[in-house]
Amino acid sequence: MSLHTLTIHQLREKLRRGNVSAREATQSLLDRIQSVDGKLKAYLWLDAEDALAQADAIDRSGIAKNGKLLGGVPVAIKDVINVEGQPCTCASKILKGHTSVYDAFVVQRLREAGAILLGRTNMDEFAMGSSTENSSWGITHNPWDLERIPGGSSGGSAAAVAADEAFAALGSDTGGSIRQPASLCGCVGFKPTYGRVSRYGLVAFASSLDQVGPFTKDVADGALMLRVLAGHDPHDTTSVPQPVPDYTAGLGKGVKGLRIGLPKEYFIDGMDREVEAAVRAAIKKLQDLGAEIVEISLPHTDYAVAVYYLIATAEASANLARFDGVRYGARVTGEDVIDMYGKTRGAGFGPEVKRRIILGTYALSAGYHDAYYVRAQKVRTLIRQDFEKAFERCDVIVTPTSPEVAFRIGEKTDDPLKMYLCDIFTISVNLAGICGVSLPCGFTNDPRLPIGLQVLGKPFGEETVLGVAHAYEQATEWHKARPNL
């Protein structure tokens, strides 16, 4: 078995025993990237020499053998998370040439756990998109079908893990940007509870919605990665000082006696029939494993997309005001400072980023603030209350991750509304601030494309979510499938 095909826990066992070195594991990934990334374009930046130097330092120190959770494991980083000394462009021309001067909190955690920081993965510009077609540096392709999108905005991270170009990767999830590409690429993607993982060092899109989380090849690796990433950070005022359990120790308990909620609003007209069939088969499997299925309602689901695209764009319009060509990033010379701002932002931002800034600025403007932004916040509260009531009747909620499988490149670019509706099953989770995971639950027939199952939990209920996902995964074979590249 080639090293690049291993899961983290399989690789860690070999590293601990001294069967392989960190350099060998890293070189195996670099060879794989060299072989297939010309087709996928999952990576924006890769410094092979630096990655091997990190691996050599770990081999000399003995970290890989002394029990460090990620000792000697290379991990890819979405290009929206700061790593000192590495580029951080957010896939945008406005940050071309920008180099990070500090580590994000999650990157500090990776270093402390002994991980090797491998490279920067592609994404939709400033994490705004559902297909990774909005990157200024080119489109990432789905490893199962190179003519199709990998999902977004963390499409590069999802494609890298699914194609065995990374043992794990970090992404960010504002409205489904980890779970949706994980579903479309056939890997595991975890969105933690808001406040469970620090946002310090994550370039902000929508500050009340953003969360960092991992992509992995299986649920056990997701639990391990979350154990490394989670924890209180005084640099982030939204970081919650709550104990972090050993998520890996909670696996293997099964689902017998657990109540699984099935929201009627998540099985809708227009959903891909094969997606619905695969998800219902997964629910039947969980029932066979001993879970009780409970029908629930999340009645304000229909408003989620509209609410999200008011709140997220409003926050984005404020957050992206800092990119003006003054302190860092690209600058276009103007006749005066106002002219310079306009020319810099006009040349530096792509069409989707401009669209969202305009929408958000309008929603916050005088005369419209109460009618749009304030009203959206009120409906957001109703959506959160829907989940609170539902969790009084169930332990977790199970839904499709996406209403469809990966679509063809260019298929939805001319219709933003169709693109926005791709996240209809993931957006509410961010609005409510709860946790969720997507994992493989099947494939369509022709073409053969992955289908994702979404498991949602109460705030800080990551242990239960991971436990249910792991029980289903171990009872099926879907997570073992790999694309043929």
Find how far residue 480's CA is from the centre of its chain: 20
Least Cα distance to 179 among 157, 204, 197 occurs for 157
Annotate 44-96 with DSSP letters as a single string: EEE-HHHHHHHHHHHHHHTGGGTT-TTTT-EEEEETTB--TTSB--TT-GGGT
In what helix (H) or strand (E) does residue 305 lie, and over which residues does it extend?
Answer: helix 304-319
Which residue is catalytic, options 177, 183, 402, 438?
177
Which residue is catalytic, options 28, 41, 68, 78?
78
Annotate 217-268 with DSSP letters as a single string: SSHHHHHHHHHHH-S--TT-TT----PPP-TTTTTT---TT-EEEEEGGGS-
Find how far residue 30's CA is from the centre of its chain: 23
Is residue 79 a contact partner of residue 203, using CB atoms and an 8 Å limit?
no
Does the annotation count 65 as an active-site position?
A: no
Does the annotation count 136 as an active-site position?
A: no
Find how far residue 51's CA is from the centre of its chain: 23
- Residue 215 has φ and ψ, to the nearest 5°, of -105, 135
Q: How far apart are CA 78 and CA 342, in angstroms?
A: 28
Tokens of 240: 């919650």
Which residue is catalytic, options 153, 157, 317, 438?
153
Number of continuous H segments (helices) and E segments (strands) in the chain: 15, 11
- Residue 322 has φ and ψ, to the nearest 5°, of -70, -15
**Backbone angle region of 267, left / alpha / beta, with phi > 0 → left and psi within -120 to 50 → alpha:** beta
In what helix (H) or strand (E) does residue 353 lie, and over which residues does it extend?
Answer: helix 351-364
Burial bucket for residue 16 (CB in 10 Å: 0-12, 13-18, 19+): middle
Does the annotation count 78 as an active-site position?
A: yes
2: CB partners within 8 A, 6+ apart: 28, 32, 164
Strand 43-46 to 116-121 pairing? antiparallel
User: Catalytic residues, which ones?
Assistant: 78, 153, 177
